[in-house]
Amino acid sequence: MDLIGISILIIAIAFAVLTVFIINVLNRLSNILENTNKTIEKLPEQLDGMLKETEVVIHNSNETILDLNEKLHALNPIFYMIADAGEASRKLSSSLVDVTNTIKKSSEKGKEVTKEKDLSGIYGLLSFVYFMYQKRQTLKDIKKGKDVNES
């Protein structure tokens, strides 16, 4: 054998190895394409099922929204009543604030009169006597067996 024969033999062996490799790759590609084909064949059935489920979900959502709208329309009068009650309580509280401010001003005037006429000792004495009277009443009630929290 000469060099040309050996080179042709090497080329033939390389071609055989390449052919085996290409056959293996093509077999794998064929399997992948078959699995893809099976998946694609199942796809319309799966899409039909998904579309039916989506249709049911959309239908239920629409019914829920309609029901919610009806209930909101039924609740509107209640919201108006609550708003009216809030407005009335706001007016009441503002009038109470006005009364409180008036009482505060008059009590400040009373403090000024007390300071001017030096009546603080008399008011302190009266407060102490009232406190003692309350304490004595509480003790009497306890001795009688009466619940102190009832009165």
- d(C-alpha 125, C-alpha 151), whole Å: 25
pLDDT given at position 50: 92
Return averaged pLDDT per consecutive 10 residues of the chain, 151 residues in all: 88 96 96 94 89 94 93 84 84 81 72 63 72 85 68 48
pLDDT given at position 93: 83
pLDDT given at position 109: 66
pLDDT given at position 82: 85
Residue 147, phi then psi, degrees to nearest 5: -75, 130
pLDDT given at position 124: 66
pLDDT given at position 36: 94
Question: In what helix (H) or strand (E) does residue 123 lie, and over which residues does it extend?
Answer: helix 120-144
- 3-class SS at 1? coil
- d(C-alpha 26, C-alpha 34), whole Å: 12
pTM of the complete model: 0.37
- How would you write the chain as a 3-class SS string? CCHHHHHHHHHHHHHHHHHHHHHHHHHHHHHHHHHHHHHHHHHHHHHHHHHHHHHHHHHHHHHHHHHHHHHHHHHHHHHHHHHHHHHHHHHHHHHHHHHHHHHHHHHHHHHHHHHHHCCHHHHHHHHHHHHHHHHHHHHHHHHHCCCHHHC
